[in-house]
């Protein structure tokens, strides 16, 4: 979302800018136009009279005979009482004009004629001023032009970390929403600070991280290359701002040194060295710009308002002061309007007081803490200074060095360098000593935050989050509304109250912002009916704030906070805490959800293991000893449980009679398939026990399976082995025909005509065939998971490879043979996941009765 | 534009308009006229009259007020100002003008009403106490009007409250340090206290503020003339006359310079010229008296008498009282001239011609008239050879010569001259030390006062002769 200034505002800014530039140009020109000058340096502190402190050598006053110590009674036929009146009178005359001065010298009153000289106020100092002004003008222009194409950003400094010790002096200015007012100069413009999309911003601010590299919002116009370069330079060069702040004192030092060397006292402007005024004005301008910048970059309306009030109040106080109390008296020597400049200065403290009271802008405790810190620091610095002077005098035995303003300046610079580390240490001590309650609160808060994130039980975590937070912040209530599983509507699961449906305006609002919403600030008219209804319900419950619990732009829930037990309004600090708690809650909810997912998966896996065991128990535990044949069966499910099965059914009551060999494959895999497999197996077993005739078993089983589950099929091979006849009477539905190796040749057993899998059609008939076995025959009954095993290239193992493998290993005992066949398949499918259950039964005919091969 | 924004804009506009209107009203109220007249031209003339008054150009002020009244006959303040300026020369006319305004006050504002009351108290009721109260009320109600302070200072001076008078001027100058005439008043006050340094300080400030006016130069010239700084006096007085050739006080003070230098003849010329230029009978009488004294000093008593006689030919007609005073002082002057010329009998005869003092004069006035006769009596005693009597009478005269708070010097330094005559008498009586003591106050003020220096020289010469005789 871009925040380009509206067209009207742009026009107004351009208009004011042009006006300001015109005034600046005229001012510059005026400074270099000759003005009338008398060469008198009045004593600015004399009251009711104008005492001549000095006359500039060679100046008009010196030429006319005015001396130091004289008293000016009047200039230009006007009696005067103050230097400002003198300046005002002088301003009425032109250069080269002869003006009478009434001077009192001792008891004498003299009337002297001065020929006023032309004098240009503009000097090197003024050029410096102008250049500095131009620099700031350029930066301002850049800020303005940069802001047009870029989003207005929030400060990257987070309010999540709100401990006393870590907060800087500037953090006394806090925003309501987790975004803090930019209190330091380095983030000069919106373009200079790290740019983030709203979701990124939200995430970063909540986790206390900030991105250093600009990220443009999608769809935004890309800034021009030079702007990007400047951005990068400024982002990477906080030294520039250090330089800006260092320039004025450096200039001050230079000028003071120059004044001392030349002994020129005409650099005095209204009593103080001009350098003092320069220093004052520079920092004044820098401070105002910093304030203006904070206002410009603050995102929230609630944040911008107090800053604007402060800015306007400061401007309203300082501008008249500079104009009437400094500019007029200094340059026009007219202090008639002094009160007009001094009185409005009261606006500055008044505005701050107003801002503190009205916007709860400052944390009074913090201010008190800071005051203590700075008072102690001042005492330490003063002590150090005195110590340095005393020690210096003792060592150097010269007072020249220490009486020099340069010494004070150098000492001041040293203090500036040491100030911050010293301040941090002092701050920690003061916090510990003076703000134990606050520190305890912070500790409890951090502990609770840690517990919330560490708690894996969602319910307990929610309880911890709501109950402990309500306790810490002394809230009448705090509920966590979470999305309902069935429809995603936000509701309190403990109460059956009205929920906020997905897509409601209020929900979108909560998802879009990462700051608490004060319900009474909402305009119900701007909401949809569902949101309005929800809002009414919440207000009825005593809820005052809704705090979004979101992570990565996803709304996980909403904290609904009631009023404070103390009935106080919510402070910014409370809102910050709630935003931080919501942040922690979001993390906790995510962790809990992840934990629940893992637990569920483990349970499923455990159940699957049990199911596998159960399924495995359904397979023959021991291979039955059947006259005339050897058997070996293998079933490998693709999942933990599978849909394949095989069994041997003694249809005549024992394995010395007829035995039905059943190989089945249920469509699908895993649990559903395994369940159907069990059912199918039981159906087939029951039918076979009643009537082992294959066609009958197929027909009856088909009907039953069809009824159990439609669109799930069971491919089945039913082979009724007759040890007497040494035959296999069989039906096959949906399965590959078994392979038989006889005399080194491998062939498929003939397949009945009807080969539909069971359950495909409700009423269908199956025919049966008989295969006469011979001694030495090796038969392989298998499901399609064997020949359709897939390689990584998605190629089937295939019938031919299966046949070849069978032939190749046909001489081996059945268990080894089975292993070898599986090994061949494994080699083929190496690296690929098993795609289907694979089941096969090997039968070797060992009986002696010869029989003719044929199909019945 | 949204509704709240429109409301805010309208409220802001209303507030700005109210602020602007209030400011404009305040400015207009301040700059509004403080007098009632229907004629803008008359108002301009009135203002000119005020400025002329401040400049001490009374003749011009009178003309301006009179012209203003021609344009607006109901211009009360112009009428009162005219009365105020006429009071010194034609009191009756001034009174009738005030009565005229009293009868037809018209639509006067509060300030004008109070002003009228002050004039009524001063000129009609002649109640100075009431006048003082009214002026105090005026200052209370109109503390921004400098005129109130000037008038109050006058009242305080009249009441002898010197310190309060000074405080009043200080207060006025703290309100407006550019009230030139206040410096003039303060200068004269300090001269009256014989603090000539301070007096000169204030008069120089006056000159600095009003270098285009004749009076500041005249004031300084008067100071210099009476303190022996003749060259500076001449320079300033000449400058005054350059600025305003008809500024007769400067001519009179040039006469003072010549007296101080010991050139009475030249002085007489200036005094006679000043008398011709002066506008009121009182001033004329003063200059005539000065001219007569100067001529007497020059050894020309007949010319002195002639001057007095010439003046007597044109007595004032403004009122019987003025005529009485005029005649009284001329006869007294004639008596002095005759006595000092050695014609004591004629002098005594002359004094017998003095008119009877009107019964309606105040006691203080009567007392003043009596004391004014000490001069001629001392002169008569001296002419008769009764030096002791002369000394006694002169001492009585000089003791009674109270210094004025105003501090202006008479054109003819009569007091100095009296002391010189006293010293002369004492020398003649062989009491040079007493003579020196009598001259000391004169020389303290004007160490270059030639007549005194001549007596001193005589005293010193006699002492030298005595020492020489003793030596011989």
Using the Cβ of B197 and the Cβ atoms of chain A, whether some distance falls under 8 Å is answered with yes
A77·B211 Cβ contact <8 A = yes
User: Which chain A residues are closer than 8 Å to B200 by Cβ?
Assistant: 109
Give the model's confidence band at A49: pLDDT under 50 very low, under 70 low, under 90 confident, else very high: confident
Q: What is the pLDDT of residue A259?
A: 62
A80·B200 Cβ contact <8 A = no
- Three-state SS at B296: helix
- Cβ proximity of B334 and B305 under 8 Å: yes
At residue B172, does pLDDT exceed 60?
A: yes
Using the Cβ of B201 and the Cβ atoms of chain A, whether some distance falls under 8 Å is answered with yes
How far CA A471 is from CA of A162, A464, A466, in Å, comes to: 19, 10, 8
A73·B205 Cβ contact <8 A = yes
Facing residue for B208 by CB, picked from A77, A81, A107: A77
Which residues, at least 6 apart from A23, have a Cβ–Cβ distance to it below 8 Å?
none
Give the model's confidence band at A367: pLDDT under 50 very low, under 70 low, under 90 confident, else very high: low
pLDDT digits (tens, 9 = 90+) for A374-391: 667 767 776 776 777 667
CA of A109 to nearest chain B CA: how many angstroms apart?
Answer: 6
Q: Among A174-178, A265-269, A420-424, A641-645, whose mean pLDDT is lowest?
A: A174-178
Positive or negative CA dihedral for B293, B298, B300, B301? positive
- Three-state SS at B267: helix
The tokens for B456 are: 């001193």
H helices, E strands: number in chain B = 25, 0
At residue A127, does pLDDT exceed 80?
A: no
pLDDT top residue among B313 and A250: B313
Average pLDDT score over residue span B337-360: 90
For residue A107, the chain B residue with the least C-alpha distance is B197
Average pLDDT score over residue span B184-200: 91
* For testing contact with chain B, the best of A78, A103, A109 (most B CBs within 10 A): A109
At residue A463, does pLDDT exceed 70?
A: yes
Using the Cβ of B207 and the Cβ atoms of chain A, whether some distance falls under 8 Å is answered with yes
Burial B429-442 (b: 16+ CB within 10 A, else e): eebbebbbebbeeb
Pairing of strands A543-551, A517-518: antiparallel
Using the Cβ of B204 and the Cβ atoms of chain A, whether some distance falls under 8 Å is answered with yes
Average pLDDT score over residue span B262-285: 92
Using the Cβ of B209 and the Cβ atoms of chain A, whether some distance falls under 8 Å is answered with yes
Facing residue for A109 by CB, picked from B173, B204, B211: B204
Facing residue for B205 by CB, picked from A79, A81, A107: A79
> Whats the size of chain A, residue-wise?
856
The tokens for A67 are: 């001396």
Give the model's confidence band at B339: pLDDT under 50 very low, under 70 low, under 90 confident, else very high: very high
For residue A72, the chain B residue with the least C-alpha distance is B205
Q: Provide the ipTM.
A: 0.78
At residue A206, does pLDDT exceed 50?
A: no
- Three-state SS at A491: strand
User: Which chain B residues are closer than 8 Å to A81 by Cβ?
Assistant: 177
The tokens for A378 are: 């001042």
Instruction: Classify residue A528 by its DSSP letter.
Output: -
For residue B204, the chain A residue with the least C-alpha distance is A109
Average pLDDT score over residue span A182-208: 33
Q: What is the pLDDT of residue A432?
A: 66
pLDDT top residue among B137 and A225: B137
Facing residue for A79 by CB, picked from B177, B201, B207: B177
CA of B175 to nearest chain A CA: how many angstroms apart?
Answer: 11
Average pLDDT score over residue span B80-84: 90
Q: List residues of chain A with CB under 8 Å from any CB of chain B.
A: 73-74, 77-81, 100, 102, 104, 107, 109, 111
Average pLDDT score over residue span B205-209: 93
* Cα A492 from chain centroid (whole Å): 26
Give the CA count within 13 Å in the CB-facing half-sphere of A487.
Answer: 9
Facing residue for B208 by CB, picked from A81, A100, A107: A100
- Cβ proximity of A159 and A576 under 8 Å: yes
B208·A104 Cβ contact <8 A = no
Q: What is the pLDDT of residue A210?
A: 33
How far CA B40 is from CA of A617, B36, B82, B111, in Å, comes to: 131, 10, 18, 19
At residue A473, does pLDDT exceed 60?
A: yes
Q: Tell me which residues of chain B, numbers 124 to 183, contact chain A at a CB-CB cutoff of 8 Å.
A: 173, 177-178
Q: What is the pLDDT of residue A268?
A: 47
For residue A763, with 0-12 CB atoms within 10 Å meaning exposed, 13-18 middle and 19 or more buried, which class applies?
Answer: exposed
* For testing contact with chain A, the best of B23, B180, B208, B220 (most A CBs within 10 A): B208
CB pairs under 8 A between A and B: 33
Using the Cβ of B83 and the Cβ atoms of chain A, whether some distance falls under 8 Å is answered with no
User: Which chain B residues are closer than 8 Å to A79 by Cβ?
Assistant: 173, 177-178, 205, 208-209
* pTM for the whole structure: 0.49
* For testing contact with chain B, the best of A79, A86, A98 (most B CBs within 10 A): A79
Mean per-residue pLDDT over chain A, rounded: 73
Report the 10 Å Cβ neighbour count for A601: 10
Give the model's confidence band at A137: pLDDT under 50 very low, under 70 low, under 90 confident, else very high: low
User: Which chain B residues are closer than 8 Å to A73 by Cβ?
Assistant: 205, 208
CA of B223 to nearest chain A CA: how many angstroms apart?
Answer: 15
Using the Cβ of B12 and the Cβ atoms of chain A, whether some distance falls under 8 Å is answered with no
The tokens for A622 are: 């021991």
Closest CA to B172 of B201, B196, B191, B147: B147
Q: Among A225-239, A427-441, A605-619, B76-90, whose mean pLDDT is lowest?
A: A225-239
For residue A99, the chain B residue with the least C-alpha distance is B208
For residue B183, the chain A residue with the least C-alpha distance is A79
A79·B178 Cβ contact <8 A = yes
pLDDT digits (tens, 9 = 90+) for A165-176: 333 323 333 333
The tokens for B48 are: 């000119």
pLDDT top residue among A308 and B245: B245
Using the Cβ of B205 and the Cβ atoms of chain A, whether some distance falls under 8 Å is answered with yes
For residue A8, the chain B residue with the least C-alpha distance is B1
Using the Cβ of B430 and the Cβ atoms of chain A, whether some distance falls under 8 Å is answered with no
Detail the DSSP E strand segments found in A739-777: 739-742, 745-748, 769-772
pLDDT top residue among B390 and A31: B390
User: Which chain B residues are closer than 8 Å to A78 by Cβ?
Assistant: 178, 209
Using the Cβ of B200 and the Cβ atoms of chain A, whether some distance falls under 8 Å is answered with yes
pLDDT digits (tens, 9 = 90+) for B103-128: 877 778 888 888 899 999 988 888 88
Facing residue for B208 by CB, picked from A81, A102, A107: A102
User: Which chain A residues are closer than 8 Å to B211 by Cβ?
Assistant: 77, 100
- Tell me how far apart the alpha carbons of residues B267 and B232 are, in angstroms, rounded to a whole number: 17
pLDDT digits (tens, 9 = 90+) for A259-283: 666 655 444 444 455 555 666 666 6
Q: What is the pLDDT of residue A242?
A: 58
Instruction: Classify residue B336 by its DSSP letter.
Output: H
A109·B205 Cβ contact <8 A = yes
Q: What is the pLDDT of residue B268?
A: 96
- Tell me how far apart the alpha carbons of residues A790 and A795 are, in angstroms, rounded to a whole number: 5
For residue B174, the chain A residue with the least C-alpha distance is A81
Average pLDDT score over residue span A792-816: 90
The tokens for A239 are: 């030294």
pLDDT digits (tens, 9 = 90+) for B425-471: 999 998 999 999 999 999 999 999 999 999 999 888 765 554 444 33
B177·A109 Cβ contact <8 A = no
How far CA A51 is from CA of A80, A263, A448, A491, B200, in Å, comes to: 11, 21, 71, 82, 21
B204·A80 Cβ contact <8 A = no
At residue A222, does pLDDT exceed 70?
A: no
Please give the order of strands across the beta sheet that includes A769-772. Answer: A644-650, A659-666, A714-722, A727-733, A769-772
pLDDT digits (tens, 9 = 90+) for B395-427: 988 875 554 445 678 899 988 999 999 999 999
């Amino acid at each position: 979302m871009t925040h380009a200034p509206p067209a009207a505002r742009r026009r107004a800014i351009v208009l004011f800018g042009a006006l300001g530039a015109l005034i600046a140009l005229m001012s510059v020109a005026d400074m270099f136009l000759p003005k009338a000058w008398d060469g008198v340096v009045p004593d600015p502190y004399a009251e009711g009279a104008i005492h001549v402190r000095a006359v500039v050598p060679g100046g008009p006053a010196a030429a006319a005979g005015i001396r130091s110590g004289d008293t000016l009674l009047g200039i230009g036929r006007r009696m005067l009482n103050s230097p400002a009146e003198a300046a005002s009178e002088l301003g009425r005359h032109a250069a080269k004009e002869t003006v009478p001065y009434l001077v009192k010298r001792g008891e004498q009153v003299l009337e002297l004629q001065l020929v006023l000289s032309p004098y240009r106020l503009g000097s090197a100092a003024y050029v410096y001023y102008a250049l500095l002004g131009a620099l700031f003008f350029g930066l301002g222009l850049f800020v303005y032009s940069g802001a047009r194409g870029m989003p207005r950003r929030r400060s990257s400094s987070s309010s999540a970390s709100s401990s006393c010790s870590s907060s800087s002096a500037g953090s006394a200015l806090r925003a309501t929403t987790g975004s803090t007012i930019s209190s330091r100069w380095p983030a000069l413009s919106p373009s200079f600070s790290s740019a983030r999309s709203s979701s990124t911003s939200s995430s970063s601010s909540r986790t206390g991280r900030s991105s250093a590299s600009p990220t443009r919002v999608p769809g935004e116009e890309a800034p021009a290359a030079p702007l990007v370069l400047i951005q990068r330079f400024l982002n990477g060069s906080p030294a520039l701002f250090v330089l800006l702040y260092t320039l004025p004192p450096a200039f001050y030092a230079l000028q003071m040194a120059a004044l001392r060397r030349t002994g020129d006292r005409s650099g005095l402007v209204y009593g103080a060295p001009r350098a003092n005024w320069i220093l004052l004005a520079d920092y004044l301008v820098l401070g105002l710009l910093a304030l203006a910048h904070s206002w410009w970059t603050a995102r929230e309306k609630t944040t911008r308002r107090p800053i604007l009030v402060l800015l306007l109040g400061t401007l309203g106080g300082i501008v008249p002061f500079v104009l009437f109390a400094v500019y007029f008296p200094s340059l026009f020597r007219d202090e008639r309007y002094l009160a007009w400049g001094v009185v409005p200065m009261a606006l500055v403290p008044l505005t701050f007081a107003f801002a503190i009271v009205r916007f709860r802008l400052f944390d009074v405790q913090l201010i008190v803490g800071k005051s203590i810190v700075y008072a102690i620091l001042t005492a330490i610095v003063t002590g150090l200074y005195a110590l340095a002077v005393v020690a210096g005098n003792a060592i150097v035995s010269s007072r020249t060095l220490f009486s020099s303003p340069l010494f004070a300046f150098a000492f001041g610079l040293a203090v500036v360098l040491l100030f911050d580390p010293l301040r941090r240490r002092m701050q920690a001590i003061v916090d510990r000593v003076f703000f134990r309650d606050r520190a305890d609160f912070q500790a409890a808060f951090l502990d609770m935050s840690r517990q919330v994130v560490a708690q894996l039980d969602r319910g307990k975590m929610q309880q911890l989050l709501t109950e402990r937070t309500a306790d810490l912040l002394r809230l009448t209530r705090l509920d966590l509304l979470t999305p309902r599983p069935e429809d995603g509507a936000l509701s309190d699961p403990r109460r059956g109250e009205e929920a906020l449906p997905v897509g409601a305006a209020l929900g979108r609002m909560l998802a879009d912002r990462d700051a608490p919403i004060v319900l009474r600030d909402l305009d119900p008219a701007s909401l949809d009916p569902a949101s309005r209804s929800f809002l009414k319900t919440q207000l009825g419950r005593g809820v005052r704030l809704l705090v979004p619990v979101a992570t990565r732009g996803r709304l996980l829930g909403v904290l609904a906070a009631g009023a404070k037990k103390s009935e106080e309004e919510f402070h910014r600090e409370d809102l910050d805490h709630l935003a931080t708690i919501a942040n922690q809650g979001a993390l906790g909810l995510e962790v809990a959800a992840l934990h629940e997912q893992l637990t569920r998966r483990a349970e499923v896996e455990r159940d699957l293991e049990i199911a596998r065991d159960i399924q495995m128990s359904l397979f023959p535990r021991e291979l039955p000893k059947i006259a005339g044949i050897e058997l070996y069966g293998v079933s490998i499910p693709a999942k933990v449980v599978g849909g394949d099965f095989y069994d041997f059914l003694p249809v005549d009551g024992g394995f010395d009679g007829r035995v039905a060999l059943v190989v089945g494959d249920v469509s699908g895999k895993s649990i559903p398939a395994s369940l159907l497999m069990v059912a199918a197996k039981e159906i087939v077993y029951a039918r076979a026990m009643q009537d082992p005739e294959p066609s009958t078993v197929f027909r009856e089983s088909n009907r039953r399976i069809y009824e159990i589950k439609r669109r799930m099929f069971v491919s089945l091979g039913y082979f009724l082995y007759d040890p007497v006849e040494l035959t296999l009477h069989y039906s096959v539905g949906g399965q590959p025909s078994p392979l038989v190796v006889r005399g080194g040749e491998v062939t498929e057993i003939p397949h009945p005509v009807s080969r539909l899998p069971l359950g495909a059609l409700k009423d269908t008939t199956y025919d049966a065939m008989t295969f006469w076995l011979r001694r030495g025959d090796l038969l392989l009954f298998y499901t399609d998971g064997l020949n359709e095993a897939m390689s990584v290239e998605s190629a089937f193992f295939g019938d031919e490879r299966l046949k070849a493998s069978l032939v190749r290993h046909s001489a081996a005992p059945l268990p080894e043979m089975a292993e070898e066949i599986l090994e061949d398949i494994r080699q083929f499918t190496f690296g690929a996941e098993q795609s289907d259950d694979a089941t096969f039964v090997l039968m070797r005919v060992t009986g002696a009765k010869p029989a003719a091969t044929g199909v019945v | 534009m949204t509704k709240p924004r429109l409301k805010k804009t309208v409220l802001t506009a209303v507030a700005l308009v109210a602020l602007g209107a209030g400011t404009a009203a305040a400015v207009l109220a301040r700059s509004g006229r403080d007098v009632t007249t229907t004629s803008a031209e008359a108002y301009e003339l009135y203002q000119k009259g005020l400025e002329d008054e401040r400049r001490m150009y009374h003749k011009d002020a009178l003309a301006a007020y009179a012209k203003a009244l021609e344009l607006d006959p109901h211009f009360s303040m112009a009428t009162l100002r005219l009365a105020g300026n006429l009071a010194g020369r034609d009191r009756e006319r001034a009174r009738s003008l005030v009565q005229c305004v009293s009868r037809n006050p018209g639509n006067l504002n509060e300030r004008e009403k109070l002003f009228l009351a002050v004039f009524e108290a001063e000129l009609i009721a002649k109640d100075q106490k009431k006048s003082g109260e009214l002026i105090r009320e005026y200052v209370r109600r109109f503390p921004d009007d400098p005129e109130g302070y000037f008038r109050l200072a006058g009242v305080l001076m009249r009441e002898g409250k010197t310190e309060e008078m000074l405080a009043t001027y200080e207060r006025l100058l703290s309100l407006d340090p550019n009230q030139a005439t206040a410096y003039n008043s303060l200068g004269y006050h300090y001269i009256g206290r014989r603090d000539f340094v301070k007096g000169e300080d204030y008069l120089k400030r006056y000159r600095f503020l009003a270098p285009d006016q004749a009076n500041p130069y005249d004031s300084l010239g008067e100071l210099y003339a009476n303190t022996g700084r003749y060259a500076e006096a001449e320079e300033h007085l000449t400058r005054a006359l350059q600025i305003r050739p008809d500024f007769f006080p400067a001519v009179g003070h040039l006469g003072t310079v010549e007296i101080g230098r010991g050139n009475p003849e030249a002085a007489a010329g200036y005094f006679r010229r000043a008398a011709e230029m002066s506008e009121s009978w009182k001033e004329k009488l003063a200059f005539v008296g000065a001219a007569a004294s100067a001529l007497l000093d020059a050894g020309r008593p007949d010319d002195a008498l002639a001057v007095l006689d010439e003046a007597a030919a044109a007595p004032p007609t403004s009122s019987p009282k003025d005529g009485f005073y005029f005649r009284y002082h001329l006869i007294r002057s004639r008596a002095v001239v005759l006595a000092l010329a050695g014609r004591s009998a004629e002098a005594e005869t002359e004094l017998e011609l003095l008119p009877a003092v009107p019964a309606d004069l105040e006691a203080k006035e009567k007392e003043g008239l009596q004391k004014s006769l000490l001069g001629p009596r001392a002169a008569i005693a001296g002419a008769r050879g009764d030096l002791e009597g002369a000394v006694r009478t002169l001492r009585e005269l000089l003791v009674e010569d109270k210094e004025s708070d105003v501090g202006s010097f008479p054109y003819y330094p009569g007091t100095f001259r009296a002391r010189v005559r006293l010293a002369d008498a004492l020398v003649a009586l062989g009491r040079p030390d007493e003579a020196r003591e009598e001259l000391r106050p004169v020389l303290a003020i004007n160490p270059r006062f030639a007549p005194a220096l001549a007596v001193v020289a005589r005293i010193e010469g006699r002492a030298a002769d005595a020492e020489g005789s003793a030596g011989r």
